[in-house]
Amino acid sequence: MAADKTSTPATATASPSVPAPAPAPVPVQDAPHQAGGGVSGETRKLKTLSPMLLSYLQKIYKSHAARDKTWHPDETAAFVKLVQGEEADAHASEKWDFDAFLHYMTSSTTNITAPPQSQDLGYPLSSYFISSSHNTYLTGNQLSSAASTDAYKNVLLRGCRCIEIDVWDCDDSDSEADSDTSVSSSDEEEAATAAGTRSKRRSTVGMVKDKIPSSIIDRLEKTSLGKKLDRYVADKEKPEATTVGATTATPATTTGTATIMGTATTTGTATAATPTANSLTNERSDGVSITGANSLRKQQSAKEPRVLHGYTLTKEVSFRDVCVAIRDNGFLASDLPLIVSLEVHCCPAQQEAMVDIMDQVWEGLLLKEPGGNPGALPTPGALKNKILVKVKYVAPDQVQGPPTPPDQLDGVEESKDSAASAAASATPSALAAAAADTKKAKKPSKVIQALSKLGVYTRAVSFKSLEQPEASMPSHVFSLSENSVIEVHEKSRHELFDHNKKFLMRAYPSGLRIRSSNLDPAVFWRKGIQIVALNWQNWDEGMMLNEGMFAGTGGYVLKPAGYRYEVPSPQASLPAPTITTPTPTPASVAPTLPSVTTTTTTPSPPPQATAVRHYTMDLTLEILAAQALPLPPGDTNPNSFHPYLKVEVHVEEPGERHGTDPVPAGGKEKPGEYKAKTKSHKGCDPDFKRQELKLKGIPGVVPELSFVRFMVKDDQTLGKDTLVAWACVRVDRLREGYRIVHLLDARNGMETEAVLLVRVGKKLVG
């Protein structure tokens, strides 16, 4: 492929690069330049060249030049085709001087990540992996961070196509904080009230402790939260919610309440990221203009639902404001369908308010019930610029029942995990409220018909087994925690894989991941699960792999052929292919034998091993040099920086593929295999001296589901080496030849000017 003729040749910098200070929180408008899954990495060019990189490019040019030290058409075509592994077009068959070679090497053509292929959007929704977010409203950890509309804006502008909203009743209850601040008629009454409060706290905390496993209590007592609990009982400390992060949109000052266990405890002033009537007009990817947030907005009721992480200290945000943020940002980065996963904890009246808000705010975008039961899942191409609500399914003839416990609502596993999380890291007021709930439970109601009807092709059904009646309903969606997926896989791996060919499934992190860490999504993609929800506010291995899967795709990736349900074209006369079944065993095809004869049945191989072709890969990476590497946090001296490159290949383990080993605990890969690293060097523009890293004979590689991670770390004498920059590339998009690796900041996933110059050799045999 030729270089961009209109680009300006990169110039060499006169001095070593000095990275900028640690970045501030990413403004919403910069989200498209932040990694995650769907938008970033589409067109990256090299703007400048350090003296080190320039010298290497000069050597490469000279080594392939003719005797007159230039590239004639033959030399140009040979380099592009034989070294770079690309098809030589007309420009690549021309004479190149060194400036033309620089044009090529600094253009997006030499990015190590090939652009995504044009996707066929004509398969059912179940045939795609979908870039997905978990607890989207949170800006930080799962216990005390703020809920914010900016969190929705951020992930949507980064290409996320499945977001989550936890919706709770409006807060109209009297809080313990209110009684603590009331005025007593005398000092004696005040003292008596305080003593009664301490006695009540001691009693309720004791009741809750009795219900928590001793192992968790032992861990709790050794933490700062355990000490807070003791002070809470003694009335020496009142817990307060912590607001994390700040909004960047025009703030609207509102009176908010920090919520613990669903009960208001402190009252203060918060800022909600609500666009004003004077905000600029946005434009969707289809060219339709969207006016400011207030143009369609009616007078907001003081009794509207709110969004927060229940049973925690997280700060709330209004459901209406979240819906407005989704409307205004949902289709700016991608026009592919957006799934909104609702976890409903509201009473019927508040659910009615939810329906009214969604009808009003999402007018023209919300997919309505077509009538009857959908016979099959539609295609993403047919649902462009549409919002699909995922919500608890209630059969039309089902009578409205009494209030339902949280563990019977949509998101049953999430409710359980959240409760476990709250118990494992309980705050004083959380424990108190939990004990109060044992006496007087305020149970949320079942989902009403008006809300359930909004779930057209994404009807959430509580998972019991893969054989339950709803498992054959085309529009159902099972949501399982990572641990539940592992359990189902170990018991019914064939059924799980076949189910996920035809129907949607969602997996999400365990509620015990308090710091918002992530599971390894590749483990779950290999089970055919389309929606693997991650905590986008955290930068770890999970989000790096998500970036590798979805970079530049708009948030949808077509599964490998063996992972999807093949639907024939309308012109096809043959019936639709059936789901792949195991090859008959010898006993099933042999002639009938006397009853005294016995045969041994050989278990059929797991579907992961047979659904697609697996390869053995040899990967060779020659590391030439790097430039503009960011310094570790808190470091300002490039001379004390000793970077090295670590490369890791993420591939399915043989034991998992063949069913001899269980899924690695927690959905994590086994450590220690398929990794290599360079020697450490000094400074932000290190010369790696063409060190070669060889990873030979890697088995079981499915290129569409395997990844190569590049991680630049600081070699520290004491303590853990610090990750400073990274990149992640899917194997089927990993280009060969001399390539530029554009690195992302380890602190916030933002694009940087840091790059690696490498030579890639990739061989797949199978």
Query: Rounded distance, CA 135 to CA 594, Å?
Result: 61
Question: What is the phi/psi pair of residue 362, to 5°?
Answer: -100, 25
3-state SS, residue 547? helix
Query: Rounded distance, CA 608 to CA 563, Å?
Result: 9
Tokens of 289: 């203009």
Query: Rounded distance, CA 365 to CA 387, Å?
Result: 6
The model carries a pTM of: 0.75
Q: How many residues does the chain have?
A: 766
3-state SS, residue 450? helix
Query: Rounded distance, CA 621 to CA 737, Å?
Result: 10
Q: What is the DSSP letter of 107?
A: S
Surface-to-core class of residue 671, CB atoms within 10 Å of its CB (0-12 exposed, 13-18 middle, 19+ buried) = exposed
Q: How many other CB atoms are there within 10 angstroms of residue 250's CB atom?
A: 13
Surface-to-core class of residue 232, CB atoms within 10 Å of its CB (0-12 exposed, 13-18 middle, 19+ buried) = buried
pLDDT of 54 reads 97
pLDDT of 557 reads 96
pLDDT of 41 reads 61
Beta-carbon contacts of 595 under 8 Å, excluding residues fewer than 6 positions away, are: none
Question: What is the phi/psi pair of residue 550, to 5°?
Answer: -110, 0
What's 138-203 look like in SS3?
ECCCCCCCEECHHHHHHHHHCCCCEEEEEEECCCCCCCHHHHHCCCCCCHHHHHHHHHHHHHHHHH
Tokens of 744: 């992302």
Question: What is the phi/psi pair of residue 419, to 5°?
Answer: -65, -40
pLDDT of 400 reads 62
Signed CA dihedral, 134, 137, 140, 142: sign only: negative
Contact 105, 755 (CB under 8 A): no
pLDDT of 746 reads 93
b/e per residue 452-488 (b: at least 16 CB within 10 A): bbbbbbbbbbbbeebeeebbeebbbbbbbbbbbbbeb
Which residue is associated with the tokens 């195991």? Answer: 582
Write the CA distances from 545 to 351, 418, 542, 654, integer angstroms. Answer: 36, 25, 5, 20
Return the bridge partners of 263, or none: 260
pLDDT of 745 reads 94
Question: What is the phi/psi pair of residue 92, to 5°?
Answer: -75, -5
Contact 714, 722 (CB under 8 A): yes
Contact 339, 38 (CB under 8 A): no
3-state SS, residue 467? coil
Query: Rounded distance, CA 56 to CA 236, Å?
Result: 65
3-state SS, residue 432? helix
Beta-carbon contacts of 540 under 8 Å, excluding residues fewer than 6 positions away, are: 517, 518
The percent of the chain in helix, strand and coil, each rounded to the nearest 5, is 30, 20, 45
pLDDT of 233 reads 54
Return the bridge partners of 619, or none: 695, 762
Tokens of 642: 């000793």
Pairing of strands 751-765, 504-508: unpaired
pLDDT of 219 reads 55
Contact 315, 243 (CB under 8 A): yes
Question: What is the phi/psi pair of residue 662, to 5°?
Answer: -75, 165
Q: How many other CB atoms are there within 10 angstroms of residue 598's CB atom?
A: 7
Query: Rounded distance, CA 82 to CA 84, Å?
Result: 6
Angle value at C-alpha 367, between 362 and 373, nearest 5 degrees? 150
What are the average pLDDT values for consecutive 10-residue runs of the chain, which has 766 residues?
Answer: 45 45 62 77 82 97 94 93 87 86 94 91 96 88 81 94 94 41 39 53 53 54 55 48 36 37 37 36 48 44 82 86 97 96 95 97 90 81 96 81 46 47 45 45 68 95 95 95 91 93 94 82 94 90 94 94 71 33 37 42 65 94 97 91 96 74 59 86 97 96 96 91 95 97 93 96 95
pLDDT of 144 reads 72
Nearest Cα neighbor of 139 from 275, 248, 12, 213 is 248
Question: What is the phi/psi pair of residue 427, to 5°?
Answer: -95, 160
Query: Rounded distance, CA 664 to CA 453, Å?
Result: 39
pLDDT of 623 reads 98
Query: Rounded distance, CA 432 to CA 439, Å?
Result: 11
| Residue at 29: amino acid letter | Q
What's 202-241 look like in SS3?
HHHHHHHHHHCCHHHHHHHHCCHHHHHHHHHHCCCCCCCC
End-to-end CA distance of the chain: 28
Beta-carbon contacts of 2 under 8 Å, excluding residues fewer than 6 positions away, are: 89, 90, 91, 92, 104, 109
